[in-house]
Every structure is written in structure tokens, then in C-alpha cells.
Amino acid sequence: MIDKRMLTDSVTIKKPVGEDDWGKEAYSEPLLLSPCKFDRSFSHSGSGNHRSESNSSTVIVYHKYCPVKLDKSFVGGVVEEDGVSYVVKNIIPQYHPLTSRLLAYEIEVI
């Protein structure tokens, strides 16, 4: 298990709940995920005019320190950290190999 002192980040996550009156995506109230670990990654591929950027990152939430229940309904939602918004692409629950107890959630964002 990881030491809580290594979990220095905090983010909020919002679940998509449909559309508002103007046809824009509406989200639920923000849920605070703290403490957690936000592993940011930035990559560029290609060259010249064919250059593309991929900013896929992972938020790791340890259930022991942040007892929240995340499910597939959060996919398509928004994770916000320091005023920057990321779209949730996948949520992967991680289980203990012997006891099948939930250890953490990996939230893949772009």
C-alpha cells in the first residue's frame, strides 16, 4: 500500500447528467477526490504540419484514503485541477489479487 504522504494532489470530478436548456452538456455537482495522485503526461508525435499532441493522464484514487464509489457513469465527465479541465475516458478499478478487495481507481483523462 502507498503512504498517504505521497498523495499530494486533489481534483474534482463531475458526472455527465444530460443536456441543459441550451443543448450543452450538463454535469453533476463536483465530487472532491483528495488525497490522490495525478500523473500527468504530455507527448508529441509527427513533424512539421503533421504534428499531433496527446495529453493523456491518470488520476489514481486510493479507496483507503478517499472512500468514494466511482462507476462507468463518470465516463465522459470532467476532472478539474487548478482550473484545467480534463475529460474522463476510462475508469479502471484495481483489486487486491488475493482478497479481491478494492485498492484504487485509475481514472484515465485527456
**For residue 73, how far is the Cα from the chain centroid?**
13
Residue 48 has pLDDT above 90, yes or no: no
Provide the pLDDT for residue 51: 75
Contact indicator for 19, 26 with CB cutoff of 8 Å = yes
CATH class of 4-109: mainly beta
Average pLDDT for the chain: 92
Provide the pLDDT for residue 107: 98
Contact indicator for 33, 10 with CB cutoff of 8 Å = yes
User: Which is it for strands 31-39 and 52-54: parallel, antiparallel or unpaired?
Assistant: unpaired
Contact indicator for 77, 25 with CB cutoff of 8 Å = no
Mean pLDDT value across residues 26-42: 94
Provide the pLDDT for residue 68: 96
Residue 5 has pLDDT above 90, yes or no: yes
DSSP bridge partners of 61? 105
pLDDT in tens, 61-91: 999 999 999 999 999 999 999 999 999 999 9
